[in-house]
Each structure stands twice: as structure tokens, then as C-alpha cells.
């Protein structure tokens, strides 16, 4: 499900439906891990359009990547926040590369680790011509926090196009959903580099995956 400032999309436009079908077919192609980077020299130069996934530790990045790609264990999931300390690159059918960025905001991470992760992410964002958009994942139960706002500011300053993806939406009731969507749209509207909408998803319940796949396809079409 995708929402914009004009409210919930209650009907699917022809172009949206076509993009969703193309997106579905795009991620029927096999995806595979191709590289991991913990330092700037290790960052691969991909000759494919890239879509990056960012978010706090334990926001559900790996689960969402697995759900979008129709694979159970493409991206490693963990119950231990902060375990992913490198950028992971996945080639999907030689059409697109998905990038799993290290989670941020893990309270038990050392200052040295935080500085290293932040520096590596900034190195990746700088002048990355193949990067089409960053999907910023927000846990719908928690909403946007100070760490998320810091990341949004970094995206804006880096002139990186980004969009908000709410995760775990199945955990909320109808009133809570309405509130978090409205608050998220209002926050995104403050940022020049943000896509003017929000994706509402649940990896567990397969909510919003078609819309997200369709949006990703539209960025590389």
C-alpha cells in the first residue's frame, strides 16, 4: 500500500498496475549476494541501477528485502540488533542491485563502530551515480525518532533521493495506522529529497509488497 499527502490510494491507476506487474516479474528473477563492504575500497562498482534499504537496527530491513525478492534467506535476519555491520549488495537477475545498509541507532554499539558505520554509509552515498533511491524503513510501532531525522538530514545534504517505508504495519490497529501515516507524511514533507508519499508494509503478512516492487521498477524503467 502506498499513501500520499492526498490520502490513501483507493484505486490503482493503469500505469501503477502496469508497474506492479513489471515489478512482480522483476523479482521473479533470481537474486544473489555479490559483495559485502566494510571499508570504502571494498565498495563494488556496480553497472546496475541500485536501490538501497536503510533503517534503525531491527527495523526489519532483511525481512523486507527477503519478502520483496521472494527469497527466505537472501538477506540474513537476526534477533540481535546491530549485527549487520557492512553494506551488502544483491544482484537481481542482472537488472537491479539491492543494497542493505548497516542498521543505525543500536544503543550498545561502541562510538568507534558508530563512526565507522556512518562513515562507510556516507562514502557509499557520495556521488553514487547508479543509486536511484534509498528506502528509509521506519518501524510503524515506534514512528520517526531522532536518529531517523539525523539520517534524513544526511540524505538531504547528500542530494540522495529517498522514500519512507513503514514496516510491521500489521501490528497496528486502524486508528494507529491512520495516525502513523499522517505523521510520517508530514515529516517527509519537510525534506527536499524525500519522495512525497509513504509505503505501508508488512513482510510477515505480505502487505504493500506489490506497490513497493512496482515503485522500484518505475525507477529503473
Number of domains observed in the structure of the chain: 1
**Cα 128 from Cα 122, distance rounded (Å):** 10
- For the segment 89-148, what is each residue's pLDDT rounded down to a tens digit? 999 999 999 999 988 876 555 566 656 667 888 889 988 999 999 999 999 999 999 989
Q: What is the DSSP string of 54-109?
A: EEBTTSSHHHHHHHHTT-SSSSPP-SSTT---SEEEEEETTTEEEEEPPPB--TTS
Higher pLDDT among residues 4 and 131, named by residue: 131
Higher pLDDT among residues 11 and 55, named by residue: 55
Higher pLDDT among residues 56 and 82, named by residue: 56
Region 157-179: mean pLDDT is 96
Q: Which domain holds residue 182?
A: 13-220
Residue 193 pLDDT exceeds 70: yes
> Is 118 inside any structural domain?
yes
**Cα 70 from Cα 93, distance rounded (Å):** 13
**Cα 68 from Cα 9, distance rounded (Å):** 20
Residue 5 pLDDT exceeds 80: no
> Is 6 inside any structural domain?
no
> Is 102 inside any structural domain?
yes
> Is 73 inside any structural domain?
yes
Q: What is the pTM of this model?
A: 0.89
Higher pLDDT among residues 72 and 179, named by residue: 179
**Lowest mean pLDDT, pick from 88-92, 155-159, 191-195, 213-217:** 155-159
**Percent of the chain beyond pLDDT 90?**
68
**Burial of 73 from C-beta contacts in 10 A (0-12 / 13-18 / 19+):** exposed
Average pLDDT, the chain: 87
- Give the number of other CB atoms < 10 A from CB of residue 25: 12
Region 21-40: mean pLDDT is 94
> Is 8 inside any structural domain?
no
Report residue 13: phi and psi, to 5°. Answer: -70, 155
* pLDDT at site 10: 35
* N-to-C CA span, the chain: 21
Q: What is the CATH number of the domain that holds 178?
A: 3.40.50.300
**Lowest mean pLDDT, pick from 7-11, 30-34, 35-39, 168-172:** 7-11
> Is 72 inside any structural domain?
yes
- For the segment 70-101, what is each residue's pLDDT rounded down to a tens digit? 998 898 754 444 445 789 999 999 999 999 99
> Is 17 inside any structural domain?
yes
* pLDDT at site 110: 56
Amino acid at each position: 500500500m502506498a499513501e500520499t499527502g492526498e490520502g490513501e490510494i483507493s484505486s490503482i491507476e493503469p500505469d501503477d498496475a502496469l508497474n506492479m506487474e513489471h515489478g512482480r516479474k522483476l523479482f521473479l528473477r533470481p537474486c544473489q549476494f555479490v559483495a559485502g563492504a566494510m571499508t570504502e575500497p571494498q565498495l563494488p562498482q556496480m553497472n546496475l541501477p541500485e536501490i538501497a534499504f536503510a533503517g534503525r537496527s531491527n527495523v526489519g530491513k532483511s525481512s523486507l528485502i527477503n519478502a520483496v525478492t521472494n527469497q527466505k534467506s537472501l538477506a540474513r535476519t537476526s534477533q540481535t540488533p546491530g549485527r549487520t555491520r557492512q553494506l551488502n549488495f544483491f544482484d537481481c537477475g542482472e537488472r537491479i542491485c539491492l543494497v542493505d545498509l548497516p542498521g543505525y541507532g543500536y544503543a550498545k554499539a561502541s562510538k568507534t563502530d558508530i563512526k565507522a558505520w556512518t562513515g562507510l554509509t556516507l562514502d557509499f552515498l557520495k556521488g553514487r551515480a547508479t543509486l536511484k533511491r534509498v528506502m528509509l524503513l521506519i518501524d510503524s510501532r515506534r514512528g520517526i525518532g531522532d536518529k531517523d531525522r539525523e539520517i534524513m538530514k544526511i540524505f538531504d545534504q547528500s542530494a540522495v533521493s529517498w522514500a519512507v517505508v513503514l514496516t510491521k504495519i500489521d501490528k497496528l490497529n486502524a486508528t494507529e495506522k491512520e495516525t502513523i501515516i499522517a505523521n510520517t507524511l508530514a515529516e517527509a514533507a519537510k525534506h527536499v529529497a524525500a519522495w512525497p508519499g509513504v509505503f505501508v508494509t508488512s513482510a510477515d503478512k505480505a502487505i504493500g509488497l506489490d506497490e513497493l516492487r512496482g515503485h522500484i521498477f518505475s525507477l529503473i524503467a
